[in-house]
A and B are shown apart, each in its own frame.
Chain A
């Protein structure tokens, strides 16, 4: 199928079953200098899915994120984002970085940060239309009243939601969040998940996190970066089955004792059952 997106990048996506595949890792291997980080990683994500990538710190989460965004190149296998090389298609991704080491003295307003989501390489000046996107994105994260406030005056949780708004201003095909709830207060966390809930189904959402608490009832699939990496080999990615948590309906329990290979497709499984 072919679709023209608002940006200049035209994408052609493969389909698996009925739903297009937006991201596919095929036998991806990555080493940092001589240290193997990932080996034989295969998985795919469908359009509109809400998926979580979970793995302990230092397990290669950040590497997967960088491979998705074309910020690193895999030595083995291929990464296909929206049907193409991530370097070409990554501008269709709304990326929400941790941005923890930012300069507190950087003079910039909330509106100006969100406006960066409208950045194009050919851009001269932001337009009125860009401002409209900024307004709209801030409304989606319930922060439109902070448009003119200095970014550094906000709380950590509010800043993170501003970065989510910046990613939404892209009008992304995929929203990719790196540890979105790290150092976040409870209220901001609730509001963030409300925002994500409104986007679920319309935008593909991928969350990268170090602990399972990120897995909510909204999550369609969980990919775990396997903890049992062998000596001298990189880690790989597996899926886990999930069942509703009996006490908390907002959470899902992840069954760690059942590994499903990363590339198995739940949609296909369902089709076979029918």
Chain B
């Protein structure tokens, strides 16, 4: 069965849908995270999510809270770590990166500890690296809702998002509640990370938040075109990852990230080379 025939299979169709729906979030949130330089914060939140997943699995399997979905625990942990990180970066400037790294490590450790005590076999690797073949209709529904929310907020508040990302202080003087914007961005990033990890996993969400937007950033003339370009690149990478993953029978999430990384590095190298040549030509022109 070739890849195009495989598209008729329900789980491949779901994976493809998830890739497309995720692209919108990767493109838009990824651009904002990149230009605001808060990718480290997003990375910390996405890893801390494992703690929530571990606790939810444990509570479910031991019968303490039967039927508790792992994603519920993940959302709680994502928001909790977003609140702590948001508070620390707004209030105490000194130890911001230490706190961010601590949340990263503590979250993951809690996850490992609870998974170890969960009866039956729990494999953390599908959460860490994603498993596109396990994407449910419910996951697609939540991704769709998030897409709608993010698109609406971006269209409604684009000038405020653009200005506060570029120059927070000036924007605040213009009478905009920049701290509120920052916390909302952090909260939405946190929730999105939970649903995005179904495609590429906890470890690599941050790659897909930064690489497509970063690639688009080399050509984009403003934040809006960076968002659109990032979305298109993310869709291309997910589709490519799914196709190659299926054909070579390798994990799709990892393939997607390799694909994204290769294109990003290639673009970066190409841009650097082009600049160098332009500079040399200019020097020759001068002499």
Contact = CB atoms under 8 A, between A and B. Distances in A.
Contacts of B221: 107, 109, 150
Interface string B169-186: 111111111000000000
B172 A71 contact: yes
A128 interface: no
B60 interface: no
Nearest to B156: A124
Nearest to B214: A105
Main secondary structure of the interface of A (DSSP, over half): loop
Nearest to A166: B170
Interface residues of B, number: 27
A21 B200 CA distance: 60
Contacts of A113: 166
Contacts of A97: 167, 169-170
B167 A116 contact: yes
B240 to A, nearest CB: 24
Interface residues of A, number: 29
A119 B159 contact: yes
Interface in A86-107: 90-91, 93, 95, 97, 99, 102-103, 105-107
Given A97-B167, A119-B160, A126-B159, A106 B35 contact: yes
A274 interface: no
Contact of A90 (B35, B37, B173): B173
A71 B37 contact: no
A103 B37 contact: yes
A121 B157 CA distance: 9
Given A71-B169, A116-B163, A105 B217 contact: yes
Contacts of A205: none
A69 B166 CA distance: 19
6 contacts: A71-B173, A99-B167, A99-B170, A105-B217, A106-B165, A112-B162
